[in-house]
Amino acid sequence: MEHFLATVKETVNPATQPVGVNLIRDAAVIDSLKIKVRDKRLAVCQQIAYSRMYSWSTWVDAGTSHCAIGAACTGLITPPERILDGTVNTGVYQENQQAAAAMQEKMPRVQPGVAGVLTYPLARPFPGIVPDLVVIYVNSAQTMRFVQAFLYHKGGEFVMKTSGDAGVCSRAIAQVALTGEPTIEIPCMGDRRFAVAQDHELMVGIPHQWLERTAEGLTATHKAGIRYPVPFQIPIECELPPDYVTSEQDMENHE
């Protein structure tokens, strides 16, 4: 983990912290943990916000997960019928219930039975706890660097899927947990309104088993000259108005 964090800091340097996420199925695992935020009604995206911005650990279970869509995606509850049949999205994200149900049908969801969602800054993990996955919020250029890292060993293409809703809970967490593959996703309306996601941000979800592989890809492409921030080509003798250009007369006057 330390190697991954150091590599991300050197090559990508995100504005907020990488977050470790665990989908805990046995609540006894967290009995001895000193968790900063618990017993508070929060959405999953708000948990991530606390961890990435304030370095706070959080725990939410079925009784305190405030957003039913996020709770269903992360396996805290069985998806309610109003979600599955599209009622929640009808007239909002889709024009009719049939379209809304079709969108919900494609929504990644972890099998119910998760006791709670645990989040924490990856730089401050709990003893004995290995993250199931890591979520990092980045800008588009930093996202490019992660895609390059993901494709470094085997090439091919990186496929991004999105619904424009339930971003971090459905794609960056549930999809990563289900597939064991990294994802890129767009923050949803809830993330922006209630969890401070910014207009320029995207999120990257990385399963634990991909952390070292991703670090290797970032390091190798960095050494090959693919850098962030991207260095501009600054031209010599750029075109300035004549009076702005240093002249021989200026140099003589200086002497």
- Give helix then strand counts, H and E, for the chain: 10, 6
In 3D space, the residue among 140, 131, 144 whose CA is nearest the CA of residue 206 turns out to be: 131
Supply 61's token pair: 């279970």
Supply 145's token pair: 């660097």
> How does pLDDT run across 25-38, given as a tens digit for each residue?
999 999 999 999 99
Cα separation, 131 vs 109, whole angstroms: 18
In this prediction, residue 177 carries a pLDDT of 98
> How does pLDDT run across 191-227, given as a tens digit for each residue?
999 999 999 999 999 999 999 999 999 999 999 999 9
- Residue 58 gets which letter from DSSP? E
Cα separation, 228 vs 234, whole angstroms: 16
Strand 133-138 and strand 58-61: the pairing is: unpaired
**Domain boundaries of the chain, sorted by first residue:** 2-230
Q: What is the pTM of this model?
A: 0.93
In this prediction, residue 255 carries a pLDDT of 60
In this prediction, residue 182 carries a pLDDT of 98
Q: Which run of H or of E encompasses 141?
A: helix 140-150
Strand order in the sheet with 19-24: 58-61, 116-121, 19-24, 133-138, 202-207, 183-185
In this prediction, residue 112 carries a pLDDT of 97
Q: Give the residues of the chain that fall short of pLDDT 70.
A: 254-255
Contacts of 63 (CB under 8 A, 6+ apart): none
Contacts of 4 (CB under 8 A, 6+ apart): 122, 134, 211, 212, 214, 215
